[in-house]
């Protein structure tokens, strides 16, 4: 890895700056819409169209606006400030193919182990109920159902071309740039590997806003930080992240 010139304070400033830009972008997007409506003579219908659009596209639009703010914030507060080319600084061009392959292979092992663990927990709960006459399986099943409900709440926005672009392409790229490229590197400057991996993964899972799926996202974050630490390149965690999101999109599309 290259020496990291920025600190955790810089990353916090990036996040705050991204939030400010998000509200600014949202305000101007709304203002431009109503000015456009007034200029072209459909100002009376504009509020109804606006509410319909927000009701059906608010999640997608919110994420896009925030990602836009995050990208601008990273560029201004880190890349420009420290004169860094992220495509050179965060990627080892000599080993891109190897790193991508490592990320893909690591994800396949990860998802196989995770799914196997779910099956084992399910079987263990059933056996426990048989031996002790308890209700362990009901508790486990209730947790899985709650996770499914939480997952289903986002499916409508994620299935489709816009969801594919956001979840499979834009999301992984910007999240890796921020969480591993900026946040993890800043933490590694101040602490040991284990602490940096655990804390950055916790923040990564927390920022995704899930409750029942928090543990899964946390495990994904651990894997991504491990890959970045091992290779010193975002190519490996990015390929892992994209394959994970593609797997999720396929499950959503199939209704599973």
Tell me: the pLDDT tens digits for 75-102?
A: 999 999 999 999 889 998 889 999 999 9
Question: How many Cα atoms sit within 13 Å of 170 on the Cβ side?
Answer: 18
**CA angle 155-156-159, nearest 5°?**
75
Residues 175, 183: Cα–Cα separation, whole Å: 10
Residues 138, 129: Cα–Cα separation, whole Å: 9
User: CA-CA distances (angstroms) from residue 125 to 71, 138, 140, 149, 243?
Assistant: 45, 8, 7, 21, 30
Average the pLDDT over 24-46 and give the result: 72
Would you list the domain boundaries of the chain?
Answer: 1-84, 89-256
pTM: 0.85
Residues 203, 241: Cα–Cα separation, whole Å: 16
Q: What is the pLDDT of residue 37?
A: 67
Residues 45, 50: Cα–Cα separation, whole Å: 9
Helix (H, G, I), strand (E, B) or coil at 134: coil
Tell me: the pLDDT tens digits for 127-186?
A: 878 877 776 667 666 655 555 545 554 554 555 667 788 888 899 999 999 999 999 999
Tell me: the pLDDT tens digits for 228-245?
A: 999 999 999 999 999 999
The answer to whether 84 touches 78, Cβ cutoff 8 Å, is yes
Alpha helices in the chain (DSSP H): 8-39, 46-74, 86-89, 96-132, 136-152, 155-158, 161-164, 171-175, 185-190, 193-207, 214-231, 235-254
Which residues, 6 or more positions from 229, have their beta carbon under 8 angstroms from its beta carbon? 184, 188, 193, 197
Residues 35, 177: Cα–Cα separation, whole Å: 35
């Amino acid at each position: 890895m290259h020496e990291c010139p920025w600190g955790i304070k810089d990353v916090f400033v990036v996040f705050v700056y991204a939030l400010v830009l998000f509200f600014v972008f949202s305000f101007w997007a709304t203002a431009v819409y109503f000015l456009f409506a007034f200029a072209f003579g459909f100002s009376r219908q504009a509020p109804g169209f606006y509410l319909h659009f927000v009701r059906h596209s608010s999640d997608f639009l919110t994420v896009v606006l925030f990602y836009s703010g995050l990208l601008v914030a990273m560029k201004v507060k880190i890349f420009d400030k420290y004169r860094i080319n992220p495509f050179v600084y965060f990627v080892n061009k000599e080993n891109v193919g190897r790193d991508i392959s490592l990320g893909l292979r690591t994800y396949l092992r990860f998802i196989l182990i995770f799914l196997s663990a779910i099956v084992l927990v399910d079987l263990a709960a059933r056996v426990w109920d048989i031996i002790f006459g308890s209700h362990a399986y009901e508790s486990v099943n209730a947790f899985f159902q709650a996770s499914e409900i939480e997952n289903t709440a986002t499916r409508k926005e994620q299935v489709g071309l816009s969801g594919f672009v956001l979840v499979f392409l834009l999301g992984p790229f910007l999240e890796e740039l921020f969480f591993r490229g900026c946040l993890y590197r800043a933490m590694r400057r101040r602490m040991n590997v284990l602490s940096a991996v655990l804390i950055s993964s916790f923040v990564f899972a927390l920022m995704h806003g899930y409750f029942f799926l928090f543990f899964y996202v946390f495990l994904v974050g651990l894997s991504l930080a491990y890959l970045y630490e091992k290779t010193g390149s975002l190519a490996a965690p990015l390929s892992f992240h994209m394959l994970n999101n593609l797997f999720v999109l396929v499950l959503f599309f199939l209704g599973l």
